[in-house]
Each structure stands twice: as C-alpha cells, then as structure tokens.
Structure 1
Amino acid sequence: MRKSGPGFMFMYKKIVYNLAVGAEAVQSSTYNYLGAAQNAVDGNSESNYMLGSCTHTAGDDPWWRVDLREVHKVTRVSITNRGDCCEERIVGAQIRIGNSLENNGNRLQLLVYEQHRPVKGRFVNIFLPGHGKYLTLCEVKVFAENLAVGAEAVQSSTYNHLGAAQNAVDGNSESNYMLGSCTHTAGDDPWWRVDLREVHKVTRVSITNRGDCCEERIVGAQIRIGNSLENNGNSNDLVTAIGFILSGGTKTFDFKPVKGRYVNIFLPGTNKYLTLCEVEVFAGER
C-alpha cells in the first residue's frame, strides 16, 4: 500500500487505464444532493465535498460499488479521500472485488495491503463496517492489467539497433526514439505484432507515438486482432484505422470485444516507416 496526499491505493504494476471513470456506481444511501455515488467516477478528484465531486452516505455499514461492465483482472485501486474535513472517517474501509452481488457485493474478495497479483471481478466495492459511519469518496480509480507488457513482439523489419520490436512492450512510454524505447521498421507495408499468449476479448488498445520527429508517419496504420498468422497476422479483423496522434502523445482506441491472441499494427503502403513507442492492450474476461 502506498499513501500520498488525500489518496491511497492498492498497487500491482505500472499505471494502466482507469476502468471506473464513467461507469455506473451505486451506494447504500445518499446523505444529500451533493453526495451522489456517481461523483466518485466522474474523472474529477476534487476533494472539497462542498464542490460536488465526492460521494457521501448516511447510516450504518455504508458501502459504495462500481460496475466495470465486464470481468477484468484488476491490478490497482486508487481512492481520493475527502479534503475539507473528516479525513479519519475512511479508516477501516475495505476494498472488495468479485462477481457476486450477494450482500450488495460486500462479501466479495477482500484485498489486503501489498497485494501482488491481479484480482478478477466485475464489481469493486468500498465497504465501511460499523454503526454511525459515513463513507465519502472523492474519486475511485480502478486499473486493469496491460496484457502486452513483456509479451513477445516481432515486426516486419528493423531500421537499426535502436528500433527493436520489443521496445513497444517494455513498459516505458518514452517517445524520443534516440533513447531506445521505440520500434522502427524499414521498407514497404510495415507491420508490428504482439503475442498475448492466449486468446483474450480485447476491448482497448493504447498507442504512444514518436515524439522527437515524424509524428505524421502513424497516420493510416491499422489495428488488427485475431488468431491467424496468415499474412503475418495482417488479415485478422480490422478493429480501427489510426488517424493523427500528437507528437509523443498516447491515443486510446476503445471498441466492442474482439477475440484474439495476436494484435497487429499494420501500415500499408510503400516507403513507410512504423514507429511505436508503447502499445498497451487491455481485455475483459476470456
């Protein structure tokens, strides 16, 4: 467990994407009109309750729950506490993750400090047992496992010693190519592929573009997902085409689940260069 400022977190590995923002949230009760359950997943970590971005319950054994819509391997939960008063009220709250709504989800698996492996679940509960308790949450963020980090990656060609395929899944989003954490191909119709080792229902891919030059080169690249290595995987399902990504920027592509073991980035055309400074892949339950 790490603590910093008004927030605290359960942490497994590097920061990935927040599953909770905008998801449906409910709670045991609502103290007044300022304290709606949805406030904890509005993407705003404002900790002054009076500014209307925190939750607030009333009564005994209060709880709050977010529905992630699908089963995920949760790797990290971050909570921002109330900042204008009453910070001690959060003490004793439990983070529980799982798939059951028995007892409003408050019998799900209890996370413990220094949890070192992902926990599967669709629901994340914050439960504060006791009489006369108030539960106030100013933001709850839930993070999922990046399936691509550390996985085996290959590409159509390699421009020089700095541009290895594995650089896009090294967990480092450094966008200056000269620092050795980006890929770089050479030749026509370049492609890059990561092997997720198993078939997953992929729902999101994030790509970090080169930042020191040439950001326009990514335009027209395609994200393809599937199980076939025919045509080096470039004939798998086309999920989306990539438009402009800011220099050094990370763009996230969300889509309905697509089943596949392989994720390809394919850039059709002659005299094309494909440079990826990080590719992150996220999925629901297999």
Structure 2
Amino acid sequence: MIAPGRVGHLTLCEVEVYGKPALSGEILSQLQSALSLYISDFNLSWTQRPFKVKVKQQNTENLARRGTVTQSSTYYSYIAQNAIDGKRYGPGSAASCSITGYQLSPWWMLDLLDYYEISTVIITARSDCCLDQTNGVEIRIGNSTENNGNNNPICAVTSGFQLGQTISYSCGVMVGRYINLVMTGRTNYLSLCEVEVYKTENVARRGTVTPSLNQYTWIPEKAIDGIKYGSPGSFCFASGNQNTPWWRLDLKYRYEIDTIIITARTDCCPDQTNGAEIRIGNSLENNGNNNPRCAVTSGFSTGYTLSYSCNGMEGRYVNVVMTGRVGYLTLCEVEVYGKCNYKKSILKLKFLSSVDAVASSGKILSQLQSAMSLHISNFNLSWTRPPYKEKVTQPDTGPCVK
C-alpha cells in the first residue's frame, strides 16, 4: 500500500487478506503425501514457482502439397514441381528449386484443386545467388484462370529476401483455388525453392450463439450455418424491433482474432446491418456488449459481404450490437478467423533422497503421476534428466555417526 507523492504517515490498524490457496501448494502437498508412502527420506520442492506460457495453435497442413503446378517456361531441369516437393533446401545449385526461362512477366501457378480460405503463403529463396529472381514477385490468389491466373487479387509483393531465406506472407482471408507468383512487367528468371500454402478456419462454426431477441424463425444460428445466400431472409438471423439489438457468439475458447466477415441480406434493408459495432473480449458484462470494439460496420448494400480486420484482438466472445438504436439487427452470415491460444502451466520440481532413486526412478515417477491425476486430468510428467547419485562429504567433526 503506497500513497504516491505524499509526505506523511501511513497508518494501517489491520490488513486482512482473503482467498484460496494456490493450486500449486495443493499439488506439492499431494505429491509429498504420495511419495511418503513409498520413501521415508526425501525432499521435494519447486525449483521454480509454477508459471504459464502461451501456446499458439499452428496451421499444420501445407495445402500446396495437394496441388498441381505449371509455369510459364522451364529453365533446363528446374521444373515447377520442385517448388512443392517439401524441400526448402537441397544440395547443389538450386537443385530443388523451380526456375522459369528468361522472359517478360514470368509466372508460376499452383492449382489447389478445390477452393480454400487462404491465410498464409510461405516462400523460400535460393541459397546460392540471384535474389532478384524471387524479390518483387506478386502473390495472387483467386478462382479465375484469366491471363493464366495472373489477374487474380494480390495478397502481397515479395521483398527483403536474403540467400536461402524463408519469408511468410499473411493474406488475411483470401478465397481461391489458384495461387500465382508473377513478375509483372519485368524480364527475368523467376526462382522459387519452396512455396507453402496454409488455410484458415472459420471458427464461428464451432461456437454457440445468443441473441437479444429473434424475429420469428430468423434464429441466431442462421448467422453461423455456413450459408451466405438464399431466398430472402431464409438463411439470416434477425433480431426483434428493439432498442440496442445484439447478437453474441461464444467461441468456447480464447482466440486471437484477425478477421471478421459479415454478409448482409440480399433482398433489402442494409440499414439493418450497417452501423453495428463488432466487439471482442472475454467479459459477459452487459451481455458482452462492453468488450473492446474492433470496428463499426458500414458500406453494406443488399447481398454485400464485407471484411473487417481486428489485428489479433483476443477474446472468447464476439458481439455485433447496434448501440443506442431502435430497429432490427440482421446478419446473414458471420465468419470469424483467428488462432486459438491456450496457456500451458510449467511445474519444475527437485527431488532429493538418500534412497537409491536411480533404481527406483520408474516407481517414483509412477507415484507422482498417480498423485497429480487427482488434481489435473491433462498433464505430462517426466524426468528432465534421469536420477543420478552424488557423493556427499560429511564435515570432519569426529567419528562418523550413522
């Protein structure tokens, strides 16, 4: 307790603190009790107080490995397939890279054979030379094969490559079957040692929803049914006509949310989607409508789908609310893209005993695991290094007493 910037006495007649013992204390006590049934002489203590680390969910499947590839031309044996062989580096001079011929606007195209919501494209440059053959390349994603796919929307333009470097490009959420890499308007070789493509998931489909009120059969679940368009209103959520109508999505876990995509109804009434606040957070105060704001919707016409960037805002709840307005709130689809984060607790213990723990290490670990399972269902317990013997020299105080 401190009174900043003041000169004087601080008087406290009593300070009382209430709470529950930390789970770490309960765990240590339980472990000690379990070991005491098996070993009489030991000491068990934390080498470091338990702490938590944030673990990010990773996209694990490289979609490029599913696809087929072609390129504008091929330099000797440096075929287009080399860029999706799973080898970022290989022996020799660009041995596992694709290289086009020397030409105007060289390009390389990947056909994923299906439509995906692409979040990330990762490119590896050759390690021997020629960075100008990978820098300044447009990454294009879409569903059109016009101009060999080189007219599709741009995700990014490559830059900053050093020899053998791998750089990741975030595309937000771009939907497409074709991934093109093209040097528009330049005459050069195009070299790619590896191209990796990762999708993102609409995590709204995993959640549950709650409305302030719903109009007839326009239930809140219709905004996360995966159907953007249909006959007027049949696949949309609509609130009742009320003051400050809202819709809330519970993702069940905390996510770092990058993008939210909203689709308006196709028949009328864009005012029922425009002007809504998108709020993200972990609080249910005021039904979640007090959480931090990502954006306010605007620009909707009938049937429009608009994307809003939330730059990694963390939250379990996503609310769409028309604060201070009387009217309907209509949402034909709400999509949410981001990464699920969870926190992993790290517990480090030190075990000392005069008992031969080397021979009994398996039994000791088994006893600890049994005791731990009384408190925690999801855990892994292991030796950071196997038990070992250490000679302890007794101080010279006379005859050795056992």
For the criterion TM > 0.5, the same-fold answer is yes
The equivalent position to 1:225 in structure 2, one of 280, 286, 300, is 280
Cα deviation code 1:156-202 (max 9, x no counterpart) = 111111x1100111111115434x21101113211001111101111
The aligned runs of 1:8-87 (5 Å cut-off) are 8-9=111-112, 15-16=116-117, 18-20=118-120, 25-28=123-126, 35-37=133-135, 39-43=137-141, 46-47=147-148, 65-68=167-170, 80=179
Per the TM alignment, residue 42 of structure 1 is displaced from its structure 2 partner at its CA by: 4.2
CA distance in 2, matches of 1:166, 1:225: 19
Given the alignment of the two structures, is residue 264 of structure 1 paired with residue 319 of structure 2, yes or no?
yes
Shift of 1:20: 3.6
C-alpha distance in structure 2 between counterparts of 1:215 and 1:232, whole Å:
25
The whole-number CA distance in structure 2 between the counterparts of 1:31 and 1:48 is 25
8 Å contact from structure 1 (residues 48, 82) kept in 2: no
In structure 2, relative to structure 1, the CA distance for the partners of 1:177 and 1:77 (3 Å cut) is closer
Counterpart AA for 1:66: S
What's the C-alpha RMSD, in Å, of the aligned pairs? 4.2
1:182 to 236, 261, 267: 236
Q: TM-score with structure 2 length normalisation?
A: 0.45
In structure 2, the partner of 1:253 is 308
Give yes or no for contact 1:234–1:266 (8 Å, CA) kept in 2. Answer: yes
- Deviation for aligned residue 1:215: 1.2
How far apart in 2 are the matches of 1:63 and 1:78?
Answer: 26
Structure 1 Cα separation of the partners of residues 178 and 136 of structure 2: 14
Does 2:298 align with 1:243? yes
CA contact (8 A) 1:26 1:38 kept: no
Kept after mapping to 2: 8 A contact 1:78/1:142: no
Cα distance change on mapping 1:10 and 1:197 into 2, 3 Å: farther
The CA distance in 2 between the partners of 1:212 and 1:203, in whole Å, is: 29
TM-score, scaled to structure 1: 0.61
Alpha-carbon displacement from aligned partner over 1:107-165 (angstroms, at most 9, x marks no partner): xxxxxxxxxxxxxxxxxxxxxxxxxxx6489x97642111101421111111111x110
1:28 and 1:47 map into 2 onto residues whose CA distance is 25
- Counterpart Cα distance in 1 of 2:198 and 2:330: 30
Question: Partner residue of 2:225?
Answer: 170
Q: What is aligned with 1:120?
A: none
Q: Which runs of 5+ in 2 are unaligned?
A: 1-65, 71-108, 158-163, 183-190, 342-402
For residue 277 of structure 1, the aligned residue among 327, 332, 342 is 332
Aligned residues: 217
Match of 1:155 in 2: 211
Return the alpha-carbon distance in structure 2 between the equivalents of residues 214 and 140 of structure 1.
42
Q: How does 1:88-103 map to 2 (within 5 A)?
A: none
Cα distance in 1, alignment partners of residues 197 and 306 from structure 2: 19
Q: 1:236 to 1:175 in 2, by over 3 A?
A: farther
Amino acid at match of 2:235: S
How far apart are 1:80 and its partner, in Å? 4.0
Q: 1:236 Cα shift?
A: 0.9
SS at match of 2:319: strand
Q: Residue 204 in 1 paired to residue 259 in 2?
A: yes
Partners in 2 of 1:172 and 1:48 — Cα distance?
A: 27
2:247 to 178, 188, 192: 192
Contact 1:20 1:142 in 2 (8 A): yes
SS where residue 323 of structure 2 aligns?
Answer: coil
Give distance in 1, aligned partners of 2:120 and 2:305.
19
Structure 2: which amino acid aligns with 1:197? K
Aligned-partner Cα distance in 2 for 1:141–1:175 = 31
Please list every run of 5 or more consecutive structure 1 residues that lacks an aligned counterpart in the other structure. 56-61, 84-133
Which protein shows a greater Rg? 2
